[in-house]
């Protein structure tokens, strides 16, 4: 078995798959991370990914360019983010309940709109998705080139997005204000910055990124929209934020790790081992290993102190 | 400080500020003026409305009526941002710092445009360092706030205000959390600030600070201004009288009439306690002196039922205790005034009524397994009236109350059960003059009614003033009992640091 694993690990197609599987997770994890750093848990993530997958795909199906589809997905996500933000920030409702509600609403909206727009179809129609773009020079490097530098543009964008999020969080006044909103909102208010404004803004942008993560599935990974295609990725991203200890860099590592296990299990199924062991065990592998990694990593995690604590001005 | 301050220009004017919380009038038509370079002390008991007034000034609360004028310009109500822009900086009693951020990040938070790319960290650090030097506020800008001491955190709060070029500094009970040395450094900083033309309002109920460090005093009582005087024209006695509304009687407590032993401990080992023997007699206040952390908490928990003895014999009213728990303690007539009224004395988000029956809801206030809320409410209203708890009403959440009023409710809760044994653990910590006198009066009244009172305090004056019998606790050991006046403060101090605990001699008395 060891030999088979090594063989998989040194193949370029394995590493290419890792980056591809990680891409939607990175977008959505960054989105969730922004929300939580501002003090808002966003359990709407799963549904927002569905609406992103649907809205992005539908826009392209109706004639928009691919990047237009990404923008539409972002906008749709931000809209559901606005709903979540308004309910949990100024109204201070339970973030768990509202988040699950948003997930149900967004998922159902996407399915309903799909049926409404395409009542007759039995096989999902296809669009032309993003094609792989080989980075000049770099993609010619043996092994590394085809693995890392022959991806679709959205994959490059996912990694760029993580970089931007890290930069904004740690290097700009906006990021400082956002982190303060999640640590001690009273400190922010005392400095004259609106806690509600920052939190709602963070939830909107974060939800937009989650939706872009969802749209990766329809605009880059596949070419059609299916029901159940998000398939729990949103929940994985919630765990990845904890795994990453609320830090963008570590969260990306977590996404890569999970994607690695996922890519590995698919390939292991095709080895002689796959004939003996039930395939469900392989499907479990990324989740089991992720749980173990989560336990190990999250011990020392520094939770934002005001996560899930509604802030009411003038209350003592 | 500056002799000319009162003749200088007016920088801040509050006019007829009124603020109600439910039925409670926290501020009743308060007016005051602050001059350039002046240090104004805002004085009053807990719950007199000082903090509310300052929160209105800073825009955290909206006043129901009244206006604020800063540097000749009216200040829009309810906007901290406007107050900051007008040059008003506030140092809250409970610091508003984000623990996981660095000092520099806390200071620059909100000072730069949110949309600028990058933060001017080098320039900011330089400005903070120069302010640190100019105002004597030593703190490392790169340190994480969670790693700082309380005194350092307060310096960060002051730096925050100075960084924004505040011309008026408001400090809410700034010395409550400081050591005497830190407090002295703070007043040094305030002197440097007024020398540069800043004006300061500080809230306090410590008379010696007010006399030593202010130019003028405004005294609040029950939400109203009851006096505004130049500090040099008054004295501590006159200020105290204004605060509590009457000349304070000198509190010489008459000795109690010792009754039978209500609780006795023999050779008890439990938690931090090492071989402790103690008798608590009815009609007696037994004072426990000692530096905090020497076993006081264990002793209070033991008698209160939260800690079980590992060895030794415990007797209540002559009968050995076999089953011991908080419920058994309550049943045996042990009343408890806990050390930390926020953490163990009350449930912050429960109402006053719910807090008032925390120990009795299942017994006195239940019928057929259901809580009789009408009776609870009537009981709470009686307590509020009898113990002068200033609050919006029995349905208010207790976290809205000031420390003194919270303590009065706890006192009422305990006293209404006429405890045979009363453990008062730091009963007046953080309270003002009026509330302290009130609590002490109630303890003496409980003693005269026959209770055995155990008074645990770090304040030797308090222990010596009230107690009929004094023990000293040090490293879990208990000194022999000393009659009132038998030892001087200095002699007790020696016991507190561990002298005198000889071999076997400790239990001789």
- Inter-chain contact A176–B117, Cβ cutoff 8 Å? no
pLDDT of residue A2 exceeding 80, the answer is no
- Report the helix count and the strand count for chain B, using DSSP H and E: 16, 23
CA pair distance A13, B430, nearest whole angstrom = 68
Domain that holds residue A202: 21-117+151-232
DSSP string, B276-311: EEEEEETTEEEEEE--TTSSHHHHHHHHHTSS--SE
pLDDT of residue B264: 94
Give the distance from residue A279's alpha carbon to the nearest chain B alpha carbon, in angstroms: 45
Instruction: Give the separation between CA B128 and CA B137, rounded to whole angstroms.
Output: 10
- How big is chain A by its Cα radius of gyration, in Å? 20
Q: Domain B10-97+165-244, what architecture?
A: 3-Layer(aba) Sandwich (3.40)
Q: Give this complex's ipTM.
A: 0.79
| Chain B residues near residue A314 by CB distance under 8 angstroms | 55, 60-62
Mutate to test the interface with B, among A39, A191, A205, A312 (most CBs of B within 10 A): A191
Higher local confidence (pLDDT), A97 or A288 = A97
pLDDT of residue B2: 44
Residue of chain B whose Cα is closest to the Cα of A177: B109
Our CA-based measurement puts residue A300 at a distance from the nearest CA of chain B, in whole angstroms, of 14
In the prediction, which pLDDT does B475 show?
86
pLDDT, position B342: 84
User: Phi first, then psi: what are they for A235, rounded to 5°?
Assistant: -65, -40
Question: Which pLDDT score, from 0 to 100, does residue B508 have?
Answer: 41
Q: What is the pLDDT of residue B240?
A: 74
Q: Which residue has the higher pLDDT, B200 or A266?
A: B200
Mutate to test the interface with A, among B96, B97, B123 (most CBs of A within 10 A): B96
Residues of chain A contacting B84 with CB distance shorter than 8 Å: 191-192
Nearest residue to B400 (alpha-carbon basis) of A17, A254, A315, A149: A315
**Side-chain half-sphere of B172: how many Cα atoms within 13 Å?**
20
Of residues A172, A188, A302, nearest to B109 (C-beta): A188
Tokens of B75: 């200040």
Q: Do A31 and A233 meet the contact criterion of CB atoms below 8 Å apart?
A: no
Query: What is the model's pLDDT at position B151?
Result: 86
Residue B46's pLDDT is what?
65
Say whether B108 and A176 touch across the interface (CB within 8 A): yes
CB contact under 8 A, B119 and A176: yes
pLDDT per residue of chain B (509 residues) written in tens, 0 to 9 = 444 445 688 999 999 999 988 777 889 999 999 999 999 999 887 678 888 898 899 888 889 999 999 999 999 988 888 998 999 999 988 888 998 899 999 999 988 888 887 778 889 999 999 999 999 898 999 999 989 888 899 999 999 999 999 999 999 888 877 777 788 899 999 999 999 999 999 998 777 888 899 999 999 888 889 888 999 998 877 887 787 665 444 456 888 889 999 999 999 999 889 999 999 999 999 999 887 778 899 999 999 999 999 999 999 998 998 889 998 999 899 999 998 888 888 898 899 999 999 888 888 898 888 999 999 999 999 999 998 898 888 999 998 888 888 999 999 999 988 899 999 998 987 777 778 888 999 999 999 999 999 999 877 778 888 999 999 998 899 999 999 888 887 788 788 877 888 644 444 43
Distance between CA atoms of B146 and B103, rounded to whole angstroms? 10
Q: What is the DSSP letter of B89?
A: E
| Residue among B99, B118, B160 minimizing CB distance to A171 | B118
In terms of DSSP bridges, do strands B421-425 and B370-371 run parallel, antiparallel, or are they unpaired?
unpaired
The answer to whether residue A279 sits within a structural domain is: no
How high is the pLDDT of residue B250? 47
Closest in A173, A313, A314 to B119, CB measured? A173
Across B360-497, the runs of DSSP E, i.e. the strands, are 366-367, 370-371, 421-425, 452-457, 469-474, 477-478, 482-483
Most confident of A156-170, A261-275, B282-296: A156-170
Structural domain count of chain A: 1
Cα–Cα distances (Å) from B217 to A131, B13, B54, B238, in that order, read 76, 15, 15, 12
Partner-chain contact A177 B99, CB within 8 Å: no
Pairing of strands B469-474, B482-483: antiparallel
In chain A, % of residues over pLDDT 90: 66
Q: Least CA distance to B83: which residue of chain A? A: A192
Q: Tokens standing for B199?
A: 């004006």
Say how far residue B452 (Cα) sits from the centre of its chain.
26
Contacts of B212 (CB under 8 A, 6+ apart): B187
- Taking the mean position of all CA atoms in its chain, how far away is CA A40? 16
Name the band, by pLDDT with cuts 50, 70 and 90, for residue A241.
Answer: very high
Domain spans of chain B, in order of start: 10-97+165-244, 252-333+418-509, 349-416
Cα separations (Å) of A44 from A102, A234, A275? 5, 8, 39
Q: Which of A207, A201, A216 is nearest to A70 (CA)?
A: A216
- pLDDT of A91 reads 93
Q: Which residues of B touch A39 (CB under 8 A)?
A: none
Residue pair B244/B437 in contact by the 8 Å Cβ criterion? yes
State whether residue A184 sits within 8 Å of chain B by CB: yes
Q: What three-state secondary structure class fits B225?
A: strand
The string of DSSP letters for A147-178 reads HHSEE-HHHHHHHHHHHHHHHHHHHSHHHHHH
Dist CA B414 CA B403 (whole Å): 17
> Which is nearest to B455 in space by CA: B467, B473, B472?
B467
Contacts of A193 in chain B (CB under 8 A): 81, 109-110, 114
- Best residue of A166, A176, A246, A307 to probe chain B, by most B CBs closer than 10 Å: A176
Which pLDDT band, with edges at 50, 70 and 90, does A314 fall under? low
pLDDT computed for residue A269 by the predictor: 85
Q: Which of B262, B366, B237 is nearest to B314 (CA)?
A: B262
Residues near B243 by Cβ (< 8 Å), separated by ≥ 6?
A: B43, B44, B45, B48, B205, B219, B221, B432, B433, B434
Structure tokens, B263:
């609780």
Distance CA B381, CA B360 (A): 16
> Does A300 contact B at CB distance below 8 Å?
no
What pLDDT, on a 0 to 100 scale, did the predictor assign at position B58? Answer: 87
Euclidean distance between CA atoms A262 and A284, whole angstroms: 9
Of A172, A174, A187, the CB nearest to B98: A187
Contact A314 B111 (CB under 8 A): no
Tokens of B186: 């703070």
Of B423, B461, B415, nearest to B441 by C-alpha is: B415
Q: Does A313 touch chain B (CB under 8 A)?
A: yes
In CATH, the architecture of B252-333+418-509 is 3-Layer(aba) Sandwich (3.40)
Contact between B105 and A176 using a beta-carbon 8 Å cutoff: yes
Rounded Cα distance between B161 and B168, Å, is 9
């Amino acid at each position: 078995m060891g030999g088979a694993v090594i063989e998989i690990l040194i193949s370029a197609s394995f590493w290419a798959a890792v980056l591809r599987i990680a891409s939607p997770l990175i977008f959505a994890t960054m989105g969730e991370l922004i929300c939580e750093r501002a003090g808002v848990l966003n359990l709407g993530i799963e549904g927002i990914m569905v609406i992103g997958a649907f809205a992005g795909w539908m826009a392209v199906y109706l004639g928009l360019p691919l990047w237009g589809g990404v923008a539409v997905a972002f906008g749709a996500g931000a809209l559901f983010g606005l709903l979540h933000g308004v309910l949990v920030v100024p109204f201070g409702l339970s973030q768990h309940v509202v988040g699950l509600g948003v997930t149900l609403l967004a998922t159902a909206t996407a399915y309903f709109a799909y049926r409404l727009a395409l009542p007759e179809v039995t096989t999902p129609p296809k669009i032309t998705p993003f094609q792989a773009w080989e980075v000049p020079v770099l993609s010619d490097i043996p092994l590394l080139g085809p693995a890392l530098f022959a991806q679709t543009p959205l994959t490059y964008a996912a990694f760029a997005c993580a970089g931007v999020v890290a930069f904004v969080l740690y290097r700009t006044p906006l990021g400082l204000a956002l982190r303060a909103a999640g640590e001690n909102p009273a400190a922010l208010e005392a400095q004259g910055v609106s806690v509600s404004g920052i939190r709602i803004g963070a939830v909107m942008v974060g939800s937009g990124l989650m939706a872009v993560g969802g749209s990766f599935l329809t605009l880059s990974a596949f070419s059609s929209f299916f029901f159940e295609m998000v398939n729990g990725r949103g929940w994985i991203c919630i765990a990845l934020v904890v795994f990453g200890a609320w830090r963008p860099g570590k969260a990306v590592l977590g996404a890569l790790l999970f994607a690695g296990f996922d890519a590995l299990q698919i390939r292991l199924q095709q080895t002689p081992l796959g004939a003996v062991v039930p395939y469900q065990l392989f499907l479990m592998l990324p989740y089991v290993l992720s749980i173990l990694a989560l336990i190990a990593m999250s011990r020392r995690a520094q939770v934002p102190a005001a996560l899930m604590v509604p802030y009411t001005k003038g209350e003592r | 400080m500056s002799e000319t301050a009162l003749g200088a220009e007016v920088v801040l004017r509050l006019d007829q500020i009124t603020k109600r919380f439910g039925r409670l009038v926290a501020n009743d038509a308060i007016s005051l003026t602050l001059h350039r370079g002046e240090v104004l002390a805002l004085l009053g008991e807990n719950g007199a409305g000082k903090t509310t007034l300052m929160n209105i000034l800073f825009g955290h609360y909206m006043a129901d009526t009244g206006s604020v004028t800063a540097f000749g310009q009216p200040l829009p109500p309810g906007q901290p941002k406007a107050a900051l822009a007008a040059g008003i900086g506030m140092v809250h009693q409970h610091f508003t710092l984000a623990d996981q951020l660095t000092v520099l990040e806390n200071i620059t938070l909100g000072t730069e445009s949110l949309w600028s790319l990058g933060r001017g960290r080098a320039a900011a650090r330089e400005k903070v360092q120069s302010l640190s030097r100019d105002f004597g506020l030593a703190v490392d800008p790169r340190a994480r706030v969670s790693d700082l001491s309380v005194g350092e955190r307060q310096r960060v709060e002051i730096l925050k205000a100075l960084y924004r070029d505040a011309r008026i500094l408001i400090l809410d009970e700034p010395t409550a959390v400081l050591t005497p040395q830190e407090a002295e450094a703070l007043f040094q900083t305030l002197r440097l600030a007024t020398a540069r033309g800043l004006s300061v309002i500080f809230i306090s109920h410590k008379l010696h600070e007010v006399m030593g460090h202010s130019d003028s005093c405004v005294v609040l009582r029950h939400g109203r201004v009851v006096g505004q005087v130049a500090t040099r024209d008054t004295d501590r006695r006159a200020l105290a009288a204004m605060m509590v509304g009457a000349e304070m009687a000198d509190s010489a407590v008459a000795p109690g009439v010792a009754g039978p032993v209500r609780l006795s401990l023999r050779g008890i080992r439990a938690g931090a306690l090492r071989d402790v023997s103690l008798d608590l007699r009815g009609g007696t206040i037994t004072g426990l002196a000692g530096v905090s952390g020497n076993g006081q908490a264990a002793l209070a928990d033991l008698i209160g039922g939260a800690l079980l003895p590992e060895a030794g014999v415990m007797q209540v009213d002559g009968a050995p205790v076999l089953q011991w728990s908080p419920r058994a303690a309550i049943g045996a007539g042990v009343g408890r005034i806990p050390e930390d009224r926020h953490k163990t004395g009350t449930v912050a988000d429960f109402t006053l009524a719910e807090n008032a029956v925390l120990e009795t809801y299942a017994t006195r206030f239940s019928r057929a397994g259901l809580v009789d809320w009408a009776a609870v409410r009537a009981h709470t209203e009686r307590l509020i009236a009898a113990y002068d708890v200033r609050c919006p009403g029995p349905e208010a959440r207790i976290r809205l109350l000031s420390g003194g009023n919270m303590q009065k409710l706890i006192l009422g809760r305990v006293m209404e059960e006429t405890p045979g044994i009363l453990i008062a653990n730091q009963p007046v910590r953080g309270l003002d003059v009026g509330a302290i006198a009130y609590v002490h009066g109630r303890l003496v009244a409980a003693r005269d009614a026959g209770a055995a009172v155990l008074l645990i305090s770090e304040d030797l004056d308090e222990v010596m003033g009230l107690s009929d019998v004094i023990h000293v606790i040090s490293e879990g050991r208990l000194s022999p009992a000393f009659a009132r006046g038998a030892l001087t403060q200095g002699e007790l101090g020696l016991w507190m640091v561990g002298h005198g605990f000889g071999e076997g001699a400790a239990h001789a008395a």
